[in-house]
Amino acid sequence: MGVWRRWIFPILRIMVFAAIAVALVKLAFFPDVVDESTAAMPTGTVSESIVTVERGSIVNDVVLEGSVVADPASEAKAPLAGDILELRVAVGATVAKGDTLAVVRKEIVKDPVVEIDEEGVETVTQPPPTYRTEAVTAPVAGVVSALPMVVGQLVEIGDPVASVAPPTFSVTGDIAPEQQYRLTEKPTEAAVEVVGGPGSFTCTNLAISVPLAGGDAPEDGVDGATATGATVRCAVPGDVTVFAGLTGTISLPGGSAEDVLVLPVTAVKGNSQAGSVWIVGEDGEPVETAVELGLNDGSFVEITAGVDEGAPVLEFLPVVDATDVAPDDGCIEEADGTVYCDDGSMEG
């Protein structure tokens, strides 16, 4: 055992260190020479994704984010100029449509009466005034939310005497201009589903409003309107319990079609009425072809004319190379994409 420790193990360690030193010298001063003829070359090819025109069904529902809002209060206005003779309600009172909220009195001054006696003396007499009264009635059923008048206060025709907040709610949401293209017919109702509320219900009296050019832009959040686009609003049925501030979805019916020619929206340039697709010819080259469009569900679009069933079409629109420069511009594009022009400028 002493021979192994004194001679064998030290010799083995020396041989291992010597082998490591030789390997390091070889790596540093004698690298392997790669045969250029066997260098790796790119062999991959890029192929365009192709889809075929097929038959399918489209359900064109436009789904919007919405919120529940209380319907705005209606103003009860003075029917004539005069003074407030009587207030018959207070703030918080529940009233029915047509109930009297206040009475306005108008003083009517008569012309003076002129009398001349036998001696020619003229006497002018001012008759006492008469009064005309009109009732200010509730325009809708609800709760009196404001009563800014006091007895004896003068008012003009059309001045607001009281405000009545109805116990009704609406659902509102914004609809983008491009989404309106998908509505082939103007809907009159929508399916609404409120988060944390009742199940899906039908919202009626649907209207799509757009701010008029030159008009006062509504403030964001007022009655669900925005100053930048169209607003959808529909009435919540009276038997559905909701609360202002709840959120949900509004599904607008835009029509449906079965057994029609369809393509992915990624393959079509344009979303409504007319567009283009790139049909792949027998030579493998895509050719832009005009088509007529129908319903669009956001994923697929109906093709009503321009292509036949089974036609091969590029799945994605061809990308125009922004570095392509016409020879007439006095510029030349190199293989690496750098563009040199006669005026000395360079791009790329």
For residue 347 the two structure tokens come to 């791009």
Provide the pLDDT confidence category of residue 225 given band limits of 50, 70 and 90.
Answer: very low
Residue 338 has pLDDT above 50, yes or no: yes
Provide the pLDDT confidence category of residue 255 given band limits of 50, 70 and 90.
Answer: confident
Residue 73 has pLDDT above 90, yes or no: yes
Query: What pLDDT is recorded for position 332?
Result: 62
CA–CA gap between residue 263 and residue 268 (Å, rounded): 7
Rounded mean pLDDT, 333-339: 55
Tens-digit pLDDT profile for residues 88-120? 999 999 999 999 999 999 988 888 877 887 777
Q: How far is CA 337 from CA 33, 42, 334, in A?
A: 33, 19, 5
Q: Between these two residues, 16 and 329, which has the higher pLDDT value?
A: 16
Query: What pLDDT is recorded for position 215?
Result: 56
Rounded mean pLDDT, 194-200: 85
Residue 194 has pLDDT above 50, yes or no: yes
8 Å CB contact between 243 and 236: no
Rounded mean pLDDT, 288-314: 84
Q: What share of the chain is helix, strand, coil (3-state, %, to 5)?
A: 10, 45, 45
Per the listing, tokens 């009296």 go with: 205
Report field, pTM of the whole predicted structure over 0.85: no
Q: Which of 3-12, 149-158, 215-224, 297-306 has the lowest mean pLDDT?
A: 215-224
Percent of the chain predicted with pLDDT > 70:
78
Reduce the DSSP state of residue 165 to 3 states and report it: strand
Residue 276 has pLDDT above 70, yes or no: yes
Q: What is the CATH number of domain 74-165?
A: 2.40.50.100
CA–CA gap between residue 173 and residue 4 (Å, rounded): 91
Which residues, other chains included, contact 25 with Cβ-Cβ below 8 Å and sequence gap of 6+? none
Q: Between these two residues, 267 and 3, which has the higher pLDDT value?
A: 267
Which residues, other chains included, contact 98 with Cβ-Cβ below 8 Å and sequence gap of 6+? 137, 138
Query: Which H helix or E strand runs over 286?
Result: strand 286-296
52-71+168-277+293-310 belongs to CATH 3.40.50.300:
no
Tens-digit pLDDT profile for residues 31-41? 665 555 555 55
What average pLDDT does the chain have?
80
How do the domains of the chain map onto residue ranges?
Answer: 52-71+168-277+293-310, 74-165
Query: What pLDDT is recorded for position 144?
Result: 94
Residue 294 has pLDDT above 90, yes or no: no
Provide the pLDDT confidence category of residue 60 given band limits of 50, 70 and 90.
Answer: confident
